[in-house]
Structures are given as structure tokens and as C-alpha cells.
Amino acid sequence: MAPSPTRFTLALALVLPLLLPFGAAAADTTRLMAFGDSLVHGYGLDSEDTFPSQLEAALQQRGHTVEVINAGNSGDTTAGGLARLDWALADQPDVVLVVLGANDGLRGLEPEQTQRNLTALLTRLEEAGLPTLLAGMLAPRNLGGEYAEEFDALFPELAENHPVVFYPFFLDGVAAEPALNLGDGIHPNAAGVAEIVERILPSVERLLERAASPPNAQS
């Protein structure tokens, strides 16, 4: 026998309060994909000390309902990142933070090649409708002034040509600071990551604002 409308309505009223909060919370969570190399993946760090983990904690402390996906791959150049981008997007992020280029610089790859790879990557993210933060890099100074000048300039140029939130130097305040890096002098330690998170946080919040705004309201 089918339940009477009165019984069905009562059952629904009892069940809905249990289901709606979970569904609403899941729908309201912004998925931020941190996409990059070992600086994102967390070379030499415990999982809770990595950039994605510390960034997620900091954002949640500031009241944001956000999940930060660790899409870092140690050793990635910009070419490597571009090659695996579509695979990474299967995680269905709402916004993306791009941290690539450090390995291009360490290997002395042609800045033109780096710029071409990042242009293709940023274009792909634009086509997918994903608000993006681009973190810049600086070249190692032992490669000469001409190389450093050309490499350093490509990131601001990319920011001018693409609708990204731009953070000029991911390792700002941490590079060349022994107390904030592992023994290799290249990768940040847990304290170094905390410094990066503190400095980049306002830019990440701007990125989240873009995700919450209608496309025609973004600038």
C-alpha cells in the first residue's frame, strides 16, 4: 500500500534536515587547484606542511569554505605542466593557481619557450572558464644578466595579455633566506611555506572573489 500523503510529507520533513546541510556544504565549497612543480607538491615536507595544506588552513581560518587540491609534480617544467594539464583538470577545480617556471630557469631553458608553454596553458584555462592566479618566477642570477632580464620579464608580460590575478614572485621573502629553506637552498621548509602563504594570501582572496562574481563583473 502506498503511504498516505500525510505520512509521506512527515517522512520527508524528517529526512530533509539530515540531507540538506551536507549537500549545501558540498555545493558551497570552492575547489582551488594549486598546479605546479615541487614548490607546490612539497618536496622534502610532511603533507601538512606543503603549500596547498598551509594555504587551505589559512583560507579556512579567514572564513573561506575552500578545498585546495595539491596538483604539484616535482621536476615539472612548463612543458611538463602543459602536457598534464587536461589530466589535472579532471579534478574539476573552480579556480587555479599556477606555479611553474622555476625548473625552466634552473635548466637554462629558452625564455621564449617558457613563455610559449605558459601562454598555451593560460589560454586553456581561459577556455575552460577557470579564474586563474599566475605566480611569477625569477631566473637564477648565475645564468647571466641578459638571460635573467628576458626570463623575469616574461611573467609580467603574460599577466598583461591574460585575465589573471598576478603575484610577481612566488618565493618573495623566502628565496636566498637560509632559515626559510631546506638544505638545498632551493626548496622552502615549513616556515618558508608559511611565509609564502602569508604574502600570497591577499592575491588568492582576490582569485576567490573572481570565482564568486559573475563573469561580466570580473576585472
**Marked catalytic residue, from 4, 47, 184, 219:** 184
- Output the pLDDT for position 27: 55
More confident position, 8 or 210? 210
Which segment of 7-21, 102-116, 174-188, 199-213 scores lowest on mean pLDDT?
Answer: 7-21
pLDDT range class, residue 211, cuts 50, 70, 90: confident
% the chain with pLDDT above 90:
82
Q: What is the DSSP string of 84-104?
A: HHHHHGGG--SEEEEE--HHH
**Arithmetic mean of pLDDT, 154-164:** 98
Which residue of the set 38, 53, 76, 104 is catalytic?
A: 38
pLDDT tops 80 at residue 156: yes
pLDDT of residue 7: 55
Q: pLDDT band for 73, please (50, 70, 90 cuts).
A: very high
| Mean pLDDT value across residues 36-49 | 98
> Of 53, 94, 104, 187, which one is the catalytic site residue?
187
Angle between helical axes of 78-88 and 111-127 (0-180°, round to 10): 10
> Is residue 16's pLDDT more than 80?
no
Sign of the CA dihedral with 31 first, then 155, 80, and 120 last: positive
What pTM, to 2 d.p., does this model score? 0.86
- Per-residue pLDDT for 118 more than 50? yes
State which CATH number among 3.40.50.1110, 3.40.630.10, 3.40.50.920, 3.30.420.10 fits the domain covering 30-211: 3.40.50.1110
Is 203 annotated in the active site? no
Give the pLDDT score at 20. 43
Based on the residue annotation, tell me whether 187 is a catalytic residue of this protein.
Answer: yes
| Cβ burial 183-217 (10 Å sphere, 16+ → b, else e) | eeebbbbbebbbbbbebbeebbeebbebbeeeeee
Q: What band does 212 get if pLDDT is binned at 50, 70 and 90? A: confident
Our answer to whether residue 184 is catalytic in this structure is: yes
pLDDT at 22 over 60: no
pLDDT of residue 213: 78
Rounded distance between C-alpha atoms, residue 108 and residue 125, angstroms: 26
